[in-house]
Chains A and B, each alone.
Chain A
Amino acid sequence: MSETARPRTLPRYSASERSNHWVVAITFILLALSGLAFYHPAFFFLSHLLGGGYWARVLHPYIGVVFFVCFALLALRLARHNAWEAKDAQWLKQFPDVLANREERLPEVGRYNALQKLLFYVLVLSAVGLFLSGIGLWREWFAFSVGTVRLAAVVHALCAFVAITSIIVHIYAAIWVKGSVRAMTRGDVTWGWAWRHHRAWFRQMVKGANK
């Protein structure tokens, strides 16, 4: 490898996947912020992002529908990469090594590591929960019994809490693991990044690429 040559890269997300992700991400942020505004008085000021409490209340569910549809598309696209494997359990068992950046001790990781897969499952579940409970709360179009609405409110808050916390982890992981963000901004990762963090995937990719 020459000194001046840029590291060689592997494609990780197509332009369409990236767009999809960012639509989901932006709508999620809007939903989280407006949702927090309804959830806790301290965040009520956030409702101004959507034009004040009234408009935040009006827009939140529509944004939620956009989020859910896009999220569902994305999830379908990524589902096959998130199948649980035996080595994922081993990986999780060695989580302290993960946190300590001792990746060499870990089983080789495919396209996604166990935590990413877990995150995927959790987000899928909470998105479904948010969607269904959101329907229950959406008075503009639907009318349910008070008991149902009460339950929906609690489920919605719970799923939102799980989702937001998961996304905090997700975002932190992207910041922590350098070289990850470009996968979602430019679509590719360097060979080194892939070799270090997702070696099995790397091998699979280059095998295919060289043949």
Chain B
Amino acid sequence: MNGMNRRQFFKVSAAMLSGSSMAALGLAPQTALAEVRQYKLARMTETRNTCPYCSVGCGILMYGLGDGAKNAKATIVHIEGDADHPVNRGTLCPKGASLIDFIHSPNRLKQPQYRAPGSDKWQTISWDEALDRIAALMKADRDANFVEKTEGKTVNRWLTTGMLAASASSNETAYLTHKIVRSLGMLAFDNQARV
């Protein structure tokens, strides 16, 4: 700074006036330095993923607790945009920027649950119980209602059980789901493309 304008001059004078007025008395506040908050991501594990919401398909970086060592159990603690991604270039919308609260939502389901006919509450059941019971119900319905032929035509369809597939599940999930559903002869099969 070569020159000092009038305003700065007054500012500096005022500072000197107030400082010096008491500095003479030997009174000065204690040294008070402070540092910025520690950068919290320094050694976390970075995992690349894709935002699960809309179809822009933004790249995200998930930061997991721990450096990947076997004894450290990863928990995602922060998510931000992937700056390398050609579409979002590091940006995220209010939904993508809040993904951390999706992963850790108190409404995440943690155990298989069952609601009995007429009941007004959930009960926790085991995976084995749940899957066995569903398999039994499906087979019983299929065996009872499968249509092999109608008016002499082979149709091999099962119409009394239907399925809605997710619209945010992976291609791999979708592919396997489709393969299984058609092998059962199911036709009442749709996804969220329409709504």
| Contact code string A27-67 (vs B, CB < 8 Å = 1, else 0) | 00000000000001111110000000000000000000000
User: In the complex, which residues of chain A have a beta carbon less than 8 angstroms from the beta carbon of B22?
Assistant: 40-43
Per the 8 Å Cβ criterion, residues 130-182 of B in contact with A are none
Q: Which 9 A-B pairs have the closest CB atoms?
A: A42-B22, A42-B27, A44-B29, A41-B29, A40-B22, A43-B27, A42-B28, A42-B25, A45-B27
In angstroms, Cα B32 to Cα A44, docked, is 12
User: In the complex, which residues of chain A have a beta carbon less than 8 angstroms from the beta carbon of B27?
Assistant: 42-43, 45
A50 CB to nearest chain B CB (Å): 16
Question: Number of A residues contacting the other chain (C-beta, 8 Å)?
Answer: 6
- List chain A positions with a Cβ less than 8 A from chain B: 40-45
B18 interface residue (CB < 8 Å to A): yes
B14 interface residue (CB < 8 Å to A): no
B30 interface residue (CB < 8 Å to A): yes
B103 interface residue (CB < 8 Å to A): no
Question: Number of B residues contacting the other chain (C-beta, 8 Å)?
Answer: 9
Additional A-B contacts beyond A40-B18, A42-B28, A43-B27 (16; CB < 8 A): A40-B22, A41-B22, A41-B28, A41-B29, A42-B21, A42-B22, A42-B23, A42-B25, A42-B27, A42-B29, A43-B22, A44-B29, A44-B30, A45-B27, A45-B29, A45-B30
Q: List 8 A-B contacts (CB under 8 A).
A: A40-B18, A41-B22, A41-B28, A42-B22, A42-B25, A44-B29, A44-B30, A45-B27
In angstroms, Cα B23 to Cα A44, docked, is 13
In angstroms, Cα B31 to Cα A44, docked, is 12
In angstroms, Cα B18 to Cα A42, docked, is 9
B22 CB to nearest chain A CB (Å): 3
B167 CB to nearest chain A CB (Å): 48
User: In the complex, which residues of chain B have a beta carbon less than 8 angstroms from the beta carbon of A44?
Assistant: 29-30
User: In the complex, which residues of chain B have a beta carbon less than 8 angstroms from the beta carbon of A42?
Assistant: 21-23, 25, 27-29
